[in-house]
């Protein structure tokens, strides 16, 4: 067995019982102080690091995207923010194609695509800094552009819940004139619970 003493062992007193007690208290205090300081340092560092990570969490690349069964091309809708992070009053949202879903292959929507399928109407909302938005393909569904946790989002009803819309998927079949939409799916999350939301709708014939 090793002759080394554990860190909590008290030293041998050289004179008297009272001096032994005083040295014991000092030694205990000496051992407690570094431990308390280390614990406080770890707590502060962890807390500040967590707060910094939360504050600097990046926003999603897009406000919402439309994916289609036809091909891999994606329509992206981005919040148009100024230097201070506020939405542009004159043009709060921009829309464009991402060919094959790749960021470096961007193309503007044609006038035909804008008017009949992927365009939208936007106007100032009821609350300051918000905007009301509706897609031309579904004008009855009114959405709201607003800022949550420092990031612009597109919120509105999804399957009966107040949700954040992230993605739209369009299933269609090709015809000689225009594609025929079979169904549309909305994907997002509940604002209150962060639980995933999904809604599927079939256009009226």
- Which of 200, 184, 71, 99 is closest to 137 using CA atoms? 184
Helices (H), the chain: 17-55, 111-113
Q: Is the pLDDT assigned to residue 69 strictly greater than 90? A: yes
Cβ contact 183:68 at 8 Å: no
pLDDT tens per residue across span 90-111: 899 999 999 998 988 999 999 9
CA distance 147 to 163: 13
pLDDT at position 25 is: 53
Residue ranges per structural domain of the chain: 1-57, 64-201
Which of 37-51, 101-115, 182-196 is predicted with the least confidence, judged by mean pLDDT? 37-51
What secondary structure letter does DSSP report for 191? Answer: T
Q: Would you put residue 40 in left (φ > 0), alpha (ψ -120 to 50) or beta?
A: alpha
User: How many residues does the structure list for the chain?
Assistant: 205
Q: Over the stretch 4-44, which tens digit does the pLDDT of each residue have?
A: 444 333 444 444 444 444 555 555 555 555 555 554 454 44
């Amino acid at each position: 067995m090793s002759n080394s003493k554990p860190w909590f062992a008290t030293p041998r007193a050289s004179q008297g019982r009272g001096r032994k007690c005083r040295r014991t208290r000092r030694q205990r205090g000496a051992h407690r102080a570094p431990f308390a300081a280390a614990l406080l340092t770890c707590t502060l560092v962890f807390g500040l690091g967590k707060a910094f990570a939360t504050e600097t969490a990046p926003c999603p690349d897009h406000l919402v995207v439309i994916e289609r069964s036809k091909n891999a091309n994606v329509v992206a809708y981005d919040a148009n923010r100024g230097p201070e992070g506020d939405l542009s009053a004159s043009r709060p949202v921009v829309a464009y194609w991402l060919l094959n879903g790749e960021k470096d292959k961007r193309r503007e929507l044609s006038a035909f695509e804008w008017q009949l399928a992927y365009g939208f109407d936007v106007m100032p909302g009821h609350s300051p800094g918000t905007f009301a938005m509706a897609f031309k393909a579904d004008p009855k569904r009114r959405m709201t552009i607003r800022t949550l946790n420092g990031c612009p989002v597109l919120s509105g009803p999804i399957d009966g819940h107040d949700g954040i819309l992230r993605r739209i998927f369009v299933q269609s079949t090709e015809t000689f004139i225009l594609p025929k939409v079979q169904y549309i799916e909305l994907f997002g999350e509940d604002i209150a619970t962060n639980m995933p939301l999904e809604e599927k709708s079939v256009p009226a014939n």
